[in-house]
Each structure stands twice: as structure tokens, then as C-alpha cells.
Chains A and B, each alone.
Chain A
């Protein structure tokens, strides 16, 4: 049984990692790009609390939160972000292209969806009982290959869960300029069951995530549509939103602020200290690791 403290651990771990990653750009230890999960942490905390450890996950450009909730090592992730040989994929992938155990990510919008669908087919064919989960955002709803995949997943009754994290902006383009009609209806048209929530409260999301995952495991494909908020920029500095408006949203919908009061304050303080140290260790150690070379030396 997942406790409130377990859930808070995931929320805080992700927040702490992402804030440190953004900060490291100014120190020059990180270069390139990153897509912070800040604001959306409750989605990952809920979903990964109800998935089995053997299930398959295909994540996208905004994958750090999913990876940490999956149980991934923050040090190996930090090393990958810094392009170190000790990173998850030896510095070859960086922030958006990681793989560890049954966790995969790629930086192409929509392209990951048929891949996850094919993974579900493979697990079904090999009777492993595992399901595949693929994370997309509202922006990916514009990609045609998504709908090709939904059609086939429904026809072949594949054990795949499509998670839509609608953070309301595709980079800078708001929902109303990018999405016609209804999001759930896009799945329902294929006979795919939808589970939907508009909340940043992990306890509200948890039963919905459980229902969706149970449906996939016992009956076939499903969509879990989570309306959420992203507090930081799409990547680093590309946020044309009114900062006052963002601050207002953050004050009302911060998953950490919502969940924190449920934890004993001494326990919480001790947990936060522990995680602060873990993240500091991850980034400090990674920063001292060697850069990779093609010949492996």
C-alpha cells in the first residue's frame, strides 16, 4: 500500500531534481536543453504507484519525472544530462533519450506512440502479463501517427495505456489554438475507454490511475487524460505566459503544497533533508565523472 509519505517522497524528489537541473544551466554544468516536469509531479506519483515494476514505460521529452517515479537513479540521470560516460546511456542520449530496464524515452512527438503500441503487442504475444504505458502531452494530439496507433491498439486489443498529460500548452501554443473538439472523444471514437481527471492532488489522481491501469491489464487499451499545469517554461527560457498568471496557478495547484499538510511535519522535514542530500550527491558526483569518447576510453 502506498502511503502519503511514499507519495510525497516522489513529488519532492522530482521537484528537487528538476530545480537543480535548471539551476545547473547557469553554472555551465548543463548545456543543451531540458524540459522540466515542475507542476506535473502528481501525475507521475499516482501512475507509478499503481504500475507493476515489470511494466513498460515509453516517455517523451519531459521524461525526468517519469523516470524518477519509475525508480530510476537520480545520479545516473544527472550524469546523462551532463553528458558523462556514467550517464544512463553513456552520454549518447541526454535529457530526452534515455533507457534503463523497461523505461525508454525519445524526443519525437507522437513517434513514441506506435513503438509503445508494438511493445504491448510483444508482451501480449509472449504472455508476460506486462502492460505498456506511453506518456504524451496535449501537443502530441496533433500528430497523425497517434490515431493510427489507437486504431490498431483497439483492433488488436493491446495492453497499452495512453497517458495524456494536458499541461494546456504545446510549447507556447495554448490548447484553444491547437486542439479542436474533445480530447476524450478522440480516444472514444476508437472504442478506447477513457479515464479523466483535472487535479494536481495526487490522492485524487491515484484511484483514477488505478482504474485505468486495471482496465488495461484485464480488458485492453485505455487512455488516462490528466489535466495539469506546468509551472516552468516549456524548456528553459521560452515562456511567454504572464508571470503573475503563472504564480497564481502555482499558488492554487502546486501538488507539493496540496499534499504536504498530510504528512507529519517532522517526518516531512527529515525526508526533505534526505532528498536534498541525495540530489546534491547526484549532481556533485556526476559533475566529476569523465566525458565519453567514441573509442570508449
Chain B
């Protein structure tokens, strides 16, 4: 059994080993500390020349990665907490995302920005967020998120091999989770769209009434909720699990919706103008007659107190309630 953290760590080792253009930058990433969440553990010992610990300077880290990428390297930057990506917004939106198109496709910007996002660890309003939704609509930026079903290592290696800037959104709660094995998925028939950032469709043997679309850690909640819906309410679900958040490529979801007719989107960021809003709109445009329901966090900062945080973020119970509401 391998955890998602181990998988991501092994991908960074592999990337540094196999491609001399790969550099890893970030705050406190040197051994023995090895990064705030230990994803970079062991890298600086093996590759001291290409693993660079930086001052606390997110904007400069991102800008430096842009310059490195423009000049033939493949930087991978770790943002200690994904919340700090706001400090990099100019470098992402006005530089990384624009260079290729603005310079008439004469340059490439192959870089990866690793963003540990997500709450449920009691870190409070500025260390628990899922801010990716703010960057999903920026033309030129790609966003992907690992999950427990695919191979996080392969996903990260695909991102590093990508010629365009990739935001790699890692939910902190996934790190210690195991990568799912066949025995964990006995209820499900799983198919993959393939490609560097696969979309997975999970079906049961029964006619499903609802499709849950989600990504990242929320897939863990979605499976539990689907189980409860099945055992408590005899409602069968399909789950469409995205690795690529943006650009939006939703064909596997549309296929599922043609079977179920009901869409529930699930994300951890605040619901308003979120990932789910775009997914729902596109689904409604493409698959006429479906009903949609979104579930995300309440439109509030994420509180420190667990009781409040639990109320603010999506939960298995809220997913079940949303599903029942959708099917009313």
C-alpha cells in the first residue's frame, strides 16, 4: 500500500533523475525538514544543485519559475500552503498564462506550481482554503488535481512534461490516504478516459439516477455518500472524477448525464461562481433536460473551530441531502 504523499514524492525523485531540466523550488524544502508536508523529502540530498530553498517570496518564486521556463528549464515550485497563491496572482495571470499566446506561440512556459489546498485540519481562514476556482477561468493556465484513484505520480509527471503552466492542486487530506486498490472498489465498475490527465467514470451494476461530478479529496466523500444513498435510500449513483479541472473537458460527464439525467457537482471551494457552476452550465448546454444541483463550501471564510469548519465545508451528510433534494 502506497500513500498519495509517497506517490508524489517518488514522482519528484523520478523527474529530477530523468530530466536535467527539472528544478524544484520552494520554502523550507531542504532535508532534513523536507517541506511542510514532506512531499519534497529526500530531494535536496540527492540533487543539491537542482533543489533550491527560497526566501518567503511567493511572487518572486513564481516569477523566477516563469523566467526559468522561458529559457528551457522545467521548474516545479512548491507553495507551502496553496492559500499563498494569491501572492503569485500577477505572475500567474499576467505572465505565465499569457506569454505563449501573447508572443504568438513563439515561446513555451513549462512549469508546475504545486498547491496544497483544503481544510479539515483546523488551520483556520488563511491556511485551509481551496482557492483554485479563482484561477480556473484564466486562459493559458491548466489546473489538475490528483486523487486516490489514478496514479498521483503519473499525474505529476504528466504535468512536469507539459509544455504549458500547470497548477497542481493537492488536497492536504489526501497525503496520508492510500491509493485505492481493486479491493477498495468492489462496488464499482471503473473506466478511464485515458490521456495525461484522465477522467474516471464509476458505475454500478444498476440503473443510476444521479451523477456526482467532483475532483480531489471530495471523491472520498462522494464514495461514502454514494454508499449511503445506495444502502439507505436505494438510490444508485455514478461518480465522474476529474483530474483536469481546467480547461474544462467534460465529455465523460455528458455521457454519464445522458444515462442519469441528474447532476450534483461537489467541490470544497465556496460554491458561488465555483468549478461546479461552470460544470453545471456546460452540462445544461450540452445535455438538454437535465436537473442540476451544486454543493460547495458556504460563502464564508473557513473557521478555525472544528464545529464551525464542519458546518462550512461539504460533508457526506450534505452530499446525501443535496442528492435527495435533486431527485425530489
Contacts and interface: CB of A to CB of B under 8 A. Distances in A.
A191 interface: no
Identify whether the interface residues of B are mostly helix, strand, loop, or mixed.
helix
Contact of B72 (A98, A113, A122, A152): A122
Interface in B89-104: 90-91, 94-95, 98, 101-104
A145 B60 contact: yes
Interface string A95-135: 00111000010101001111111111111011000001000
Nearest to A108: B94
A106 B94 contact: yes
A145 B59 contact: yes
A237 interface: no
A113 B94 contact: no
Contact of A89 (B23, B72, B103): B103
Interface string B4-39: 000000000000000000010000000000000000
Given A92-B102, A108-B95, A122-B71, A115 B66 contact: yes
A132 B67 CA distance: 10
B178 interface: no
A114 B101 contact: no
Contacts of A89: 102-104, 106
Contacts of B98: 97, 106
B64 interface: yes
Given A89-B104, A99-B103, A145-B60, A120 B67 contact: yes
Nearest to A116: B67
A99 B95 contact: no
Contacts of A119: 67-68, 70-71
A118 B57 contact: no
Contact of A97 (B55, B61, B102): B102
Identify whether the interface residues of A are mostly helix, strand, loop, or mixed.
helix
Nearest to A114: B63
B23 to A, nearest CB: 8
B104 A114 contact: no
Contacts of B54: 152
B71 A106 contact: no
B222 interface: no
A112 B71 CA distance: 14
A209 B37 CA distance: 46
B71 A56 contact: yes
A155 B64 contact: no
A115 B101 contact: no
Nearest to A111: B90
B190 interface: no
Nearest to A155: B55
Contacts of B66: 114-115, 118
Given A148-B55, A148-B59, A152-B55, A93 B103 contact: yes
Task: Give 3 nearest A-B pairs by CB, closest first.
Answer: A114-B63, A118-B67, A118-B64
29 contacts: A56-B71, A88-B104, A90-B104, A92-B101, A98-B103, A104-B70, A106-B94, A106-B95, A111-B90, A111-B94, A114-B61, A115-B66, A115-B95, A117-B67, A118-B63, A118-B64, A118-B68, A121-B68, A123-B71, A125-B23, A126-B73, A144-B59, A145-B60, A148-B57, A149-B63, A151-B55, A151-B57, A152-B55, A155-B55
Given A122-B71, A122-B73, 20 more contacts: A92-B104, A93-B103, A98-B103, A99-B104, A106-B94, A106-B98, A108-B90, A108-B95, A111-B63, A111-B90, A114-B63, A114-B67, A115-B66, A118-B67, A119-B71, A144-B59, A145-B59, A145-B90, A148-B60, A149-B60
Interface of B: 23, 52, 54-55, 57, 59-73, 75, 90-91, 94-95, 98, 101-104, 106-107
Interface of A: 56, 88-90, 92-93, 97-99, 104, 106, 108, 111-123, 125-126, 132, 144-145, 148-149, 151-152, 155-156
